[in-house]
Every structure is written in C-alpha cells, then in structure tokens.
Chain A
Amino acid sequence: AQSVTQPDIHITVSEGASLELRCNYSYGATPYLFWYVQSPGQGLQLLLKYFSGDTLVQGIKGFEAEFKRSQSSFNLRKPSVHWSDAAEYFCAVALNNDMRFGAGTRLTVKP
C-alpha cells in the first residue's frame, strides 16, 4: 500500500545546530515530493518540492532536501536552525492524482 512515514514525532535541537527531518515513502514509482511547514494556528506553507532532475532541492528559509531513490527517502535539512523554525513539518508525497501527508514532525528549538 502507498504510504509516507515520518519516523520522528518530535525533535528538539539547539538554536544554531543543524537539523535533519526524515521522510520515507512506499510507492511503486517515484512520486512527487514536498515539504510543508505549519506554525501554530496557521495553514501549511510549502518549503520545497521535488519533481525530477537534481536530487538536492533548495527551498525557502534556508531549507534543503535530498531525494534518495535507493532509500525511498526525502529528508529535510537545515545547517543552522533559528528559533523561528520551531513548528510542525509535514512531508507530502503525490503520485497518480493522489497526495498523502505524513503525520508530521514537531520541531522544538532550545535557546
């Protein structure tokens, strides 16, 4: 069955530290891949997307993600986290006119 998994429910990092949020998918073919961020009381904002081509994708707010076909993964990274990055992050996967979201990873940033 098609699925998208975010293994980490909650991650805490110190401000200035690096960040990696994991996303794995189970699909028969390579889907389109997205990362969204949701601040409390807000809707989802698109950070970046991968459709094809270069497997390292740059997004807004200094985020990047790398598509690894062999691992069926699309992990989100940021070299230096800011306190304002504290939010919920959702990976989304789309194929054949179907889009599914992971359960999300909540990021806490320590001062």
Chain B
Amino acid sequence: GAGVSQSPRYKVAKRGQDVALRCDPISGHVSLFWYQQALGQGPEFLTYFQNEAQLDKSGLPSDRFFAERPEGSVSTLKIQRTQQEDSAVYLCASSLGGRTHEQYFGPGTRLTVT
C-alpha cells in the first residue's frame, strides 16, 4: 500500500518568505508527527496530531511555526518569515497509535533558506 508522502521534496526559500510543507499519511493512521532533522542529527520532535487534534506542539521552535490537520488526514507545516536556521529536513510520520507506537516516515522535505 501507499506509504507516507511529502511534498515538495525540496524547497528553497529566501529569508523572510513563508513556506508550506505538506504531508499525506498512511490511510487510516490516527496519529501524525512532524520532526525536524538537522544535518548529521537525529529527528527532533516538533508536533503531534491525533486525528485533527493537535495534542502536543511543545517542539515547535518559535511562533513562526504552525501546523494543522483540519480533517484528520493531510497535514501542513507552515513556517512564516523563514530564517537561515530553519534550513533542515522536515520529516512527517504517521502511526496507528500514539507516540510510543511504531511510526512510518515519509521521505522528508529538504528546506534550504538562503
């Protein structure tokens, strides 16, 4: 079956621009997660949805970061007024259960802010 998909795969933004990153989870997966992965590092948690409810957004680094999942399926991570330190790979994952269950990852979106 189809896995987690993310678009775009690559995004180059000028500093100050807004970007929107999309995640399509595996059909039927209740939970959806966003992670930020800096070069040479492991994924760092950003936020977590169960259906359409955002249960944890403690990992979002600033109020420029915003995520939504309005219908409990597709999710969008939006970054406003991008900064160079936002350059990273943004990974989306979905799961049948909560945060302690196995997660299935998408290929990520590589964001480069120039």
Q: What is the distance, in angstroms, from A87's C-beta to the closest C-beta of chain B?
A: 13
Interface residues in A38-95 by Cβ distance below 8 A to B read 41-46, 49, 90, 94-95
Interface residues in A2-17 by Cβ distance below 8 A to B read none
- Is A34 an interface residue, CB under 8 A from the partner? yes
- Is B1 an interface residue, CB under 8 A from the partner? no
Q: With A and B bound together, what is the CA distance between A41 and B105 in angstroms? A: 12
Quick check: B100 and A32 within 8 Å, CB to CB? yes
B72: chain A residues at CB < 8 Å are: none
Quick check: B99 and A97 within 8 Å, CB to CB? yes
Quick check: B42 and A104 within 8 Å, CB to CB? yes
Quick check: B105 and A99 within 8 Å, CB to CB? no
Interface residues in B78-95 by Cβ distance below 8 A to A read 91, 93
Q: What is the distance, in angstroms, from B64's C-beta to the closest C-beta of chain A?
A: 23
Chain B residue nearest in CB terms to A46: B102
Q: With A and B bound together, what is the CA distance between A41 and B106 in angstroms? A: 11
Q: With A and B bound together, what is the CA distance between A49 and B106 in angstroms? A: 19
Chain B residue nearest in CB terms to A32: B100
- What are 20 contact pairs spanning A and B, CB under 8 A? A31-B100, A36-B105, A42-B107, A43-B4, A43-B107, A43-B108, A45-B105, A46-B102, A90-B42, A94-B100, A94-B101, A95-B100, A96-B100, A97-B98, A98-B99, A103-B41, A103-B42, A104-B40, A104-B41, A104-B42
